[in-house]
């Protein structure tokens, strides 16, 4: 009898041992399966995490020739033809900007360096044109980069128009990244709507853009038939940034030569327009915003009147062949 119970006890202990082993193996297997599944569903690294402040897929800006505007990557519309105010001061500046607004122009380009922000602000406050229809671009100069917050406040105070539509860094200089960060903060504070750069080219942009948080809405560079930036313009546009050309007539001391250019003059004659209008239209058809300077009300009106004709592909090619790589401004 004792022997029988001994055998039963041994068998029972054996069975208990087997069950414990199976339970342990089942737990281990479940844990391994859990680890395996966890590895499979772990999300892949987001490729945009390296530059979280820029949209990877962007499209080149498109001009709306009916509204005569372009949508910036900041979400605001910018007129594509306006007035540059370099060398205009006091009453001359006031009268020129007044002529622009009366002729239907809405884009005004200035800078702290020009010394005419107060005159421009006065025109806008005196005008019957609603503030929200006017687009003002200003710039801060490299000598102001050491205290960009003060420079921004200075522009706001001198203009005194509530907010600035577009502020640019006038050209590269020591402290430009920090100055750009100050403009970014001003955007967050509602003082500036859009920000950008002036006199930045491919190499400068490649070095600069990874260091900032808000993509430039506009890059403004010298662009005219003798200095066309044939590689720079599409490079900037492919980043979803609008290109704005200054000195479209060649800059100081070169306007007469460009207006008399045989190719440009012949195209102008064929369309019954002026050489100036041909040059501006050529820029617009390349997707380049223009703000030619003038103090002559007739010329200001003429510069806005570039939407009733279109250059042919052949004419665009003829002007493209005028490229000389001839930069007329010092920076």
Please identify every residue annotated as catalytic: 114
Mark out the alpha helices in the chain (DSSP H runs).
Answer: 2-41, 90-102, 117-126, 148-159, 176-188, 202-208, 232-238, 255-259, 262-271, 275-285, 297-304, 313-320
- What is the rounded CA–CA span in Å between residue 231 and residue 245? 14
Tell me the C-alpha distance between 53 and 56, whole Å.
9
Whether the Cβ atoms of residue 251 and residue 224 lie closer than 8 Å to each other: yes
* Element containing residue 72 per DSSP (H, E): none
Give CA separation, 72 vs 30, 219, 237, 290, 309, in Å.
Answer: 55, 11, 11, 15, 25
Instruction: For the beta carbon of residue 262, count every other beta carbon within 10 angstroms.
Output: 8
Buried b (16+ CB within 10 A) or exposed e, 171-191: bbbeebeebbebbbbbbeeeb
Structural contact between residues 124 and 151, judged by C-beta atoms closer than 8 angstroms: no
β-strands 164-169, 192-198 pairing: parallel
d(CA 130, CA 109): 18
Within 10 A of 143 (CB to CB), how many other CB atoms are there? 12
């Amino acid at each position: 009898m004792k022997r029988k119970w001994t055998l039963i006890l041994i068998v029972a202990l054996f069975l208990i041992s087997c069950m414990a082993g199976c339970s342990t193996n089942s737990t281990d297997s479940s844990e391994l399966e859990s680890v395996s599944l966890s590895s499979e569903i772990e999300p892949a690294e987001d490729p945009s995490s390296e530059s979280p402040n820029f949209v990877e897929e962007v499209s080149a800006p498109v001009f709306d020739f009916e509204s005569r505007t372009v949508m910036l990557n900041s979400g605001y519309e910018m007129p594509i033809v306006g007035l540059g105010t370099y060398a205009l001061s006091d009453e001359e500046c006031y009268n020129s900007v007044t002529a622009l607004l009366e002729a239907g122009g809405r884009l005004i380009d200035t800078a702290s360096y020009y010394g005419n922000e107060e005159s421009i602000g006065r025109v806008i406050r005196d005008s019957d044109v609603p503030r929200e229809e006017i687009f003002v671009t200003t710039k801060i100069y490299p000598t102001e980069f050491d205290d960009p917050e003060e420079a921004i406040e200075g522009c706001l105070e001198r203009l005194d128009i509530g907010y600035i539509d577009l502020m640019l860094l006038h050209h590269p200089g020591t402290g430009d990244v920090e100055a750009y960060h100050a403009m970014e903060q001003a955007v967050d504070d509602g003082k500036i709507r859009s920000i950008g750069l002036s006199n930045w080219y491919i190499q400068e942009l490649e070095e600069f853009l990874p260091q900032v948080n808000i993509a430039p809405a506009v890059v403004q560079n010298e662009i005219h038939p003798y200095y066309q930036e044939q590689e720079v313009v599409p490079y900037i546009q492919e980043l979803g940034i609008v290109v704005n050309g200054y000195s479209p007539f060649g800059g100081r001391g070169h306007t007469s030569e460009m207006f008399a250019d045989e190719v440009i003059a012949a195209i102008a004659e064929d369309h019954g327009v002026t050489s100036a209008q041909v040059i501006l239209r050529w820029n617009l058809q390349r997707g380049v915003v223009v703000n030619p300077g003038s103090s002559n009300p007739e010329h200001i009106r003429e510069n806005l009147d570039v939407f009733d004709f279109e250059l042919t592909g052949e004419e665009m090619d003829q002007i493209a062949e005028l490229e000389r790589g001839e930069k007329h401004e010092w920076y």
